[in-house]
Structure 1
Amino acid sequence: MLIANETFEKLSTLDNKNEYECCTFKNCDFSDGNLSATKFIESEFVDCNLSNVKFNDTSILDVEFSNCKMLGIQFDRSNQLLFSAVFENCQLNDCTFFEMKLRQAAFINSSLEGADFTAADLKDVKITGCDLFNASFDRANLEGADFRMSVRLQIDPEITRLAKARLSLAQLPGLLSKHNLKIEG
């Protein structure tokens, strides 16, 4: 069923398998819920808890997440066709984006501790002001990605594509950490 131009507040459950277009979700707690096979199009989530939500075959098209807690989500199980999302001021710790095409995504001022971006396509993606402690980017395409202002970044440039990626000088130790160098400033 198509549900359009609605605002939902303080919900704890949501009928999955519906299509939500141009909808807003505020202060909702869907944690540990099942939103599989649901479609979210041009919608936004504000101050919501989506931790451990199942997004199996869920479509996420032009969706904005602001100030959301989204721990442990396996985004790689979502419908990856045209996946496009902006995550701003979100907690995305331990989320999985394995082998996803994320060229239409942005991560701004968010926590991505322990996130798995292994073999993901993040070409030209904005990942700014984020905490990337223990985030994995092995075999990822990070060409042209913008990492400025992000902290605790560790990437192995020998197995990750980094051409034209934007990094700050303070992030260089994270590119050289496997060599056990002592860099002094």
Structure 2
Amino acid sequence: MLLNKKLFLASPLIKISYIIGGWRIFFNYGTLETIKYQRSNEMKKNYPAAPILPQRFASDFYLEDEASFEAVHGLEMDFSYLTCENLVIRHSILEKVTMQRTKLIRFEAGNVVFKNCDFSNLEWIGGSFHQVVFENCKLTGCNFAESYLRDCHFKDSLINFGSFSATNLKNVWFENCQLSDGEFFEVTWKHLFLEKNNLENSNWQRTKLAGLDFTSNSFSKIACSMEQLKGLKVDSYQALVIAAGLGLEIVEG
């Protein structure tokens, strides 16, 4: 269990905490220090670092080319069918925000929490994501292709038909997500964690699989490159599924 570090001064303070995506966020009013946004259970080695959020949030958020936002809390907004270039958002929370079929070109997010958002068919090709949490979001058909993701956590989210092709993933965690028909083609990764996801009919061709653990995930069909299979951890059923997908004929003795 992680204990919240004392950030307060000698004067009396009000301390409030609540949970977002399995992490506990601590507000220490009366100080100037940044909030410590921590997991409520023990941090596992190489799992994503938590976002760092400010004490207070501004209310204004909108889509505009070259706009940069810091410490905003966007709530129940709709920016669907829009195009925006070079948008930057840092140390913020977007909650119940809708951006269906929106195009965010050269998008950058750092220390951001997306909670209960609908980003269906959103395109942020070539984006940059650093210490970002997606919790209970709808990301169906979302296109992350050629993006850079570091210390990102996808939790309880719908990402069916999502594309992560040619992405660079470092310390990224998919937890209890729907990833069926997802594209993970030519992914470069380090410390990628997959836990309790639906990987049905996902494509992992030309992606290094050594060190990945599929055992807690489910699938009855999946595409992998034969030359990249060495070192992949699977259970016996998953091994048969992968073998069948490579054209082997399984004969029961």
**TM bucket, shorter chain:** 0.7 to 0.9
Contact 2:94/2:114 (<8 A) preserved: yes
Which of 163, 167, 182 is the matching residue for 2:214? 167
Give the deviation of 1:33 after TM superposition: 2.5
Greater shift in the superposed pair: 164-173 or 93-102: 164-173
Aligned in 2, Cα 1:83/1:54: closer, same or farther, shift over 3 Å?
Answer: farther
Output the CA distance in 1 between the equivalents of 2:215 and 2:176: 11
Look up the equivalent residue of 1:88 and give its one-letter code.
Answer: E
Mean Cα deviation higher: 34-43 or 85-94: 34-43
Post-superposition offset of 1:16: 4.5
Q: Does the aligned pair in 2 maintain the 1:76–1:100 contact within 8 Å?
A: yes
**C-alpha deviation, 1:27, in angstroms:** 0.7
Q: Indicate if the aligned counterparts of 2:65 and 2:85 stay in contact, CA closer than 8 A.
A: yes
Aligned-CA RMSD value = 2.9
Counterparts of 1:77 and 1:95, CA distance in 2: 13
Seen in structure 2, the aligned counterparts of structure 1 residues 164 and 45 have a Cα distance that, compared at 3 Å, is: same
Q: How far apart are the structure 2 equivalents of 1:146 and 1:62?
A: 19
| 1:54, distance to aligned residue in structure 2 (A) | 2.3
State whether structure 2 residue 177 is matched by structure 1 residue 127. no
Question: Cα 1:152–1:64, aligned 2, differ >3 Å: closer, same or farther?
Answer: same
Answer with 1 or 2: which has the greater Rg: 2
1:38 matched to 2:87? The reply is yes
Structure 1, residues 124-158: CA drift from partner, whole Å, max 9, x if none? 31011010111011121345322111013445666
CA distance in 1, matches of 2:147, 2:198: 23
Structure 1 segments of 4 or more deviating over 6 A? Answer: none
The 5-angstrom pairing of residues 28-67 of structure 1 reads: 28-67=77-116
By relative contact order (CA 8 Å, sep 6+), the higher-ranking structure is 1
**How many residues matched?**
176
Instruction: Name the residue aligned to 2:39.
Output: none
Partner of 1:27: 76
Structure 1: give runs of 5+ residues left out of the alignment.
Answer: none
Equivalent of residue 86 in structure 1, options 133, 144, 155: 133
Q: 1:144 aligns with which of 186, 191, 194?
A: 191
Deviation for aligned residue 1:35: 3.6
Structure 2: unaligned runs, 5 residues or longer:
1-55, 223-241
Q: Which moved more, 1:140-149 or 1:172-181?
A: 172-181
* In 1, Cα distance between equivalents of 2:189 and 2:126: 21
Counterpart contact for 2:126–2:147, Cα < 8 Å:
no
Change (3 A) 1:108 1:169: closer
Aligned mates of 1:140, 1:171 — CA distance in 2: 20
Instruction: Please state if 1:178 is matched with 2:227.
Output: no
In the alignment, the residues of structure 2 paired with residue 37 and residue 159 of structure 1 have an alpha-carbon distance, to the nearest angstrom, of 30
SS at match of 1:104: strand
**For 1:32 and 1:108, how far apart are their aligned partners in 2?**
25
1:84 offset after TM fit, Å? 4.2
Please give the per-residue CA displacement for 1:19-66, whole angstroms capped at 9, x wherever unaligned: 211110011111112343222111111011111222113321111100
Deviation at 1:17, TM superposition (A): 3.1
CA contact (8 A) 1:143 1:161 kept: no
1:56 maps to a residue whose letter is I
